[in-house]
A and B are shown apart, each in its own frame.
Chain A
């Protein structure tokens, strides 16, 4: 059973067309929900960490929100340079398979912003 599910898998937008990416999770004991941006051939770039339902964080054209079951990454008036894969990850109280205590990642949303 997937613990972190991201949707859509891919999204193509016109420049300036706002939208939202979804991350739903089913873990217990959430210690933090992380958002990253990953460009091809590079490591993930940290964006936000959210801890409790109702929390919101913003950075430039991005705003992340959190509920008890999901998180949204809202992209307002995106530009072509916002094109990337956006990854959601959870840090939960019990290790997924063996207690290594790291992050469990979703499969990502591949975002393309067309000029």
Chain B
């Protein structure tokens, strides 16, 4: 199994600013992903974080708004840019191989 940590665990941000969320895995993993979970809702895939290349985004999510980096097999960042109150959500990182995917504890973001 893989243990995944995220920083920060929560933050309150002003409208129009940006926040970068870090995701660290305790072992090398093939795949890493970013999800969003809005209050009381299930998880929605944002993108696949590809090591050494541009992330692959799901429909409705764009690189300018959610730039993602993955410099190696254990680390990734997600930036939420030019934030609005609608971006208030929990952002979750996951990682693993094809048959097991593990999640971090999430970053709770509130935009005021």
Contacts and interface: CB of A to CB of B under 8 A. Distances in A.
Most buried by B among A31, A44, A97, A105: A44
A7 to B, nearest CB: 14
Nearest to B55: A100
Contacts of B43: 44, 87, 89, 103, 105
Contacts of B57: 98, 100
A60 to B, nearest CB: 16
A95 B104 CA distance: 22
B33 interface: yes
A99 B56 contact: yes
Contacts of A78: none
Interface string A96-114: 1111111111111000000
A96 B102 CA distance: 20
A31 B31 CA distance: 15
Contacts of B46: 100
A100 B48 contact: yes
A46 B47 contact: no
Contacts of A103: 33, 43, 45, 94, 101
Contact of B99 (A32, A95, A100, A106): A32
Given A89-B43, A100-B47, 16 more contacts: A31-B98, A42-B105, A42-B106, A49-B100, A95-B56, A96-B58, A97-B60, A100-B56, A101-B31, A102-B47, A102-B58, A102-B94, A103-B33, A103-B94, A104-B45, A105-B42
13 contacts: A42-B106, A43-B106, A44-B103, A87-B43, A95-B58, A96-B45, A98-B56, A98-B57, A102-B35, A103-B101, A105-B42, A106-B42, A107-B42
Interface of A: 31-32, 34, 36, 42-46, 49, 51, 87, 89, 91, 95-108
